[in-house]
Structure 1
Amino acid sequence: MSKVLIIGGGIVGLSSAYYLHKAGHQVTVLDKGDLTDSCSYGNAGMIVPSHFIPLATPGMLTQGIRWMFNSKSPFYVRPSLNMQLISWGLKFVQKANAGHVERSATPLTELSLLSKKLYEDLSKEPGFNFDLVEKGILMFYKTEKAGEEEALMAAKGRELGLDMAVLSADECRKLQPELELDVLGAVHYRCDAHLSPNKLMTALIKYLKGAGVSLLTNKEVTKIETSAGKVGRVLAHDEAFTADEVIVATGSWSPAIGKLLGINILLMPGKGYSFNVADEHPAMHIPALLAEARVAITPMNGGLRYGGTMELDKINSRINMNRVKGIVESVPKYFPGLKPAVPAEKDIWFGFRPSSADGLPYIGRSKKFSNLTIATGHGMMGLSLGAGTGALVSEIISGTAPSININSFIPDRK
């Protein structure tokens, strides 16, 4: 079997390491941090086969322009002469059409369902208690317009074989009687699930260490040597690593790694925020998505995790408190009994979702280097698609037939 080097220790990198180890490969993971600071930890923990619509849609194009003028809006693009952003924007506009949306639905659904099944299997393994709960997710809406859009989405989901149901406000109340609602209704994504990302990542790290997988932290890749169409040495400052196969699973840092390789990995970091609130008397048992506000709320670890926003910008450490206030202020409009306070800046988590311009992940071998596989660009669905991506990476490296058709995800697509 192959000696495999994975660059990146987020959910995609660690899932790849897990399935590659299971397939008999010798695996080393390099991470620029300490494995605890990736986007895989602070997300909403949602497993979402319901999300078969890519970010690049005609509606997102027009809505996004309006949101750019609202400092508390769910979506923002910081104007910049950054060529990566300009290239990304041009590709986004090119792909934001009904045909692309239609073509993307099946591959995204197949990848999501594969990933969900793998999480179900993993949760049954010894040492993998990460609070997987299969109660679905409720997409609440307050306006007739949003209700019509969500009903159409549910109908499309059912065509794809997904379990979705449109509920009235009264039907929503019966599911969670103690949760006060001010909504017109919701779509119950019964096909969805949720888990604790912190517990999942901790379990994966513990398993991999115990299995002899080499997890090397604080190893930022600074140079990559290539020759004869293959990746050779990978250098982390003055330390060199070699392998038969190299995997780039570096999330929003992937363009920088691509630059070292002389290839263009077109994606932008989409900053999102989350914060946790303890809840002594939990009324919410099913995760919620707020349709108009684009906010996610997940019961997690004895409390609620609130998350949202998408800021497309260069990687940075700024916390935009107006965006956090936008999350906080939206919640009581749907749930009058839930009134989270604006958290202190030190209690706000932020991470960068690696967002491809067409809304589809990059999964597959590079055309330029025969021993290079790319696994990144999952946007807001990194956790949801992580297990499935890891399994596909293992199949690619092992030379076995992939579990699903990955043609839509090839890294060199136009």
Structure 2
Amino acid sequence: MKAVIIGGGIIGLSSAYYLSEAGWEVEVLEAGDFADNCSYGNLGMVVPSHFVPLAAPGIVAQGVRWMFNSSSPFYIKPGLNSKLINWGLKFLRSANAKQAEAAARPLLELNLFSKSLYEELATQLNFGLKKKGILMYFKTESVAEEENHLAEKARAMGLDAIYLNRQELLHLEPEQQPDVLGAVHYRCDAHLHPNAVMREMINILKQKGVILSAGKPLQKIVRDQDQIREIIAGGESIKADLFVMASGSWLPETMKQAGISIPLMPGKGYSFTGNEGGPSLRIPAILCEARVAITPMAGQLRFGGTMELAGFQHKVNMNRVRGIVESVPNYFPAMKLEMPQEKEVWYGFRPCSPDGLPYIGFAKNSRNLLVAGGHAMMGLSLGPATGKLIAELAQSKSTSVDISAFDPNRFS
């Protein structure tokens, strides 16, 4: 039995790994060269703590305040875009307390499952997995109240989360001396080096005999009633028993070729690595008010953030980067962060579904087409779990966690 996976990010590679483990012959098709996608530039956080979906209560009001400021954490490029409008209407309907509550347990279980799989993978692959948790820093009383309420909910769901005051944080991060009211330490979380995990996954897939085909953009899908008969990629006809669509932010375009509509928007984010020789950070940090994340990585620090809904804009908006740089000293005065040069800034497109939940499962009216996408900022965190679930579905097995909330056909 042969499986073809469209997309060579962490979701596609994880799907290839677990399908290969299950005995499938696997080929991964990548439009690029497997060397530069969202899986490389992210902050490397593995986050059971992130059980609140992107479409959360209050995010709309906050987003409206931010949306037309080009240096804010959230930005929508003004203009009439039918895809964005349709996505936005679905997002508005999803951003309520009832749906966020219903999403919490499925997201938590998916993240916990993925963390356990990363722990298994770390016994044979070297990607710097560290289980130090993450710290959610806050400077204002209103955000302190929100974060402590969220921590209470996390503890009620079984997560290890504690409140730390400023003095306790000074002890935990002595080189940084954080200037904050406090933080919540999610000791259940972990982090790794994303570049290393991608490199290690590619190496082990080659050892397993998985074919990694670069420069093979999907061009056409040929259907035969309720199944995919063949695809055309890079000018080549490819037949298989199973097809897995793991095409990231390009999922709507690739699924459209199969006659299926899936709502998704690319949310551009930025990251850069620096602070070499500066004060170190022991534990990954999220600066709550600024929506900025920092992860210690290979002796340096990686900084990232922002959400820019402007379609596929292939250029760096340095105002967005400046927003990240200028926010950091408000939390860590000892960190004298230099504005990076444009060539040092990485950007990528996060695949955002309207309700903030991934798409995992069989596509409508397609018995051999599986969808694996829409993970937004949690693609790396949820990669192994998604890959394992894809392999279980391919074998008609019961899934390790309930995936009904992730039905790819829920908006159709």
**Normalised TM-score (structure 2):** 0.98
CA distance in 2, matches of 1:4, 1:71: 43
Displacement of 1:316: 2.1
Partner of residue 28, structure 2: 29
Asked if 1:406 is matched to 2:389, the reply is no
Which whole-Å CA distance do the structure 1 matches of 2:235 and 2:190 have between them?
44
C-alpha offsets along residues 101-159 of structure 1, whole Å, 9 cap, x if unaligned?
A: 1000000000000000000110011xx11000000000000000000000000001111
Q: Give the residue type in structure 2 aligned to 1:124.
A: T
Any idea what the Cα deviations from partners look like across 1:322-366, whole Å, max 9, x if unmatched?
Answer: 000000000000000112111100000000000000000000001
Is it true that 1:257 corresponds to 2:224 in the alignment? no
Answer whether contact 1:328 1:339 (CA < 8 A) is retained.
no
The equivalent residue for 2:353 is: 356
Supply the AA of the counterpart residue of 1:74: P
- The residue correspondences of 1:164-313 to structure 2 (distance < 5 A) are 164-280=161-277, 282-313=279-310
CA RMSD of aligned residues (A): 0.9
User: Could you tell me whether the CA contact under 8 Å between 2:4 and 2:242 is conserved in 1?
Assistant: yes
- The Cα shift of 1:278 comes to 4.2
Quote how far apart the aligned CAs of 1:280 are: 2.5
Higher mean displacement: 233-242 or 150-159: 233-242
Q: Is the 8 A contact 2:9 2:39 kept in 1?
A: yes
Q: In percent, how many aligned pairs have the same letter? A: 55
For the 8 Å contact 2:169–2:177, the answer to whether it is kept is: no
Question: Which amino acid is the alignment partner of residue 326 of structure 2?
Answer: E
Partner residue, 2:367 = 370
Q: Distance in 2 between matches of 1:408 and 1:46?
A: 23
Tell me what 1:155 maps to: 152
Summarize the alignment of residues 94-113 of structure 1 with structure 2, pairs less than 5 Å apart: 94-113=93-112
1:7 aligned onto 2:6:
yes
Q: Which residue of 2 aligns with 1:120?
A: 119
What is residue 386 of structure 1 aligned with on the other side? 383
Q: In 2, distance between residues paired with 1:165 and 1:304?
A: 24
Q: CA deviation at 1:68?
A: 1.2
Q: Distance in 2 between matches of 1:58 and 1:109?
A: 18
Query: Structure 1: which 5+ runs fail to align?
Result: none
Question: 1:281: Cα distance to partner?
Answer: 5.1
The CA distance in 2 between the partners of 1:315 and 1:167, in whole Å, is 40
CA distance in 2, matches of 1:82, 1:281: 43
SS of the residue corresponding to residue 304 of structure 2 reads strand
**Which has the larger displacement, 353-362 or 72-81?**
72-81
Deviation at 1:282, TM superposition (A): 4.3
- For the residue of structure 2 that corresponds to 1:4, the secondary structure is strand
- In the TM superposition, what whole-angstrom CA distance separates every residue of 1:352-390 from its partner, at most 9, and x where no partner exists? 000000000000001221100000000000000111101
Partner of 1:78: 77
The SS at the match of 1:41 is helix
Tell me, yes or no, if the aligned pair for 2:57 and 2:97 is still in contact at 8 Å.
yes
Question: Number of residues paired by the alignment?
Answer: 411
Decide whether the 8 Å contact of 2:249 with 2:374 is kept in 1: yes
User: Quick check: 1:255–1:264 contact (8 Å CA) kept in 2?
Assistant: yes
Q: Tell me the equivalent position of 1:58.
A: 57
CA distance in 2, matches of 1:9, 1:237: 15
Are 1:270 and 1:310, in contact at CA under 8 Å, matched by a contact in 2? yes
8 Å contact 2:215–2:234 — kept in the other structure?
no
Q: Is the 8 A contact 1:278 1:302 kept in 2?
A: no
Residue number in structure 1 paired with 2:318: 321
Which residue identity is paired with 1:27?
A: V
Shift of 1:233: 1.2
Q: In structure 2, list runs of 5 or more residues that go unmatched.
A: none
1:164–1:188 contact (8 Å) kept in structure 2? yes
In 1, distance between residues paired with 2:365 and 2:325?
A: 46
CA distance in 1, matches of 2:189, 2:54: 19
Code of the residue aligned with 2:192 in structure 1: it is L
TM-score, with normalisation over the residues of structure 1? 0.98
Q: Distance in 2 between matches of 1:279 and 1:60?
A: 35
Cα distance in 2 for partners of 1:100, 1:401 equals 25
